[in-house]
Amino acid sequence: MGNSELQPVSKSAGGQAWLLLALDELLAIVRECINPKVSRSGLDRCLRRHGRAL
């Protein structure tokens, strides 16, 4: 596994934590850690597409 991939335990723990975040808070984290160019609407569409609507 590469350094950017999460172990199953990390995925589970991280998956639970993001449920407590508002879309704007999650957007700030995604921009800082994953993709600085992601849009708010793009993140919202991605979450909805994967059944994780906020």
Cα–Cα distance measured from residue 24 to residue 34, given in angstroms and rounded to the nearest whole number = 15
Contact 12, 18 (CB under 8 A): no
Per-residue pLDDT at 53 exceeds 60: yes
Is the pLDDT reported for residue 10 higher than 50?
no
What is the spatial distance between Cα 28 and Cα 9, in angstroms, rounded to a whole number?
Answer: 23
Regarding predicted confidence, which is higher, 53 or 8?
Answer: 53
**DSSP secondary structure string for all residues of 28-46:** HHHHHHT-TT--HHHHHHH
The per-residue pLDDT for 8 is: 52
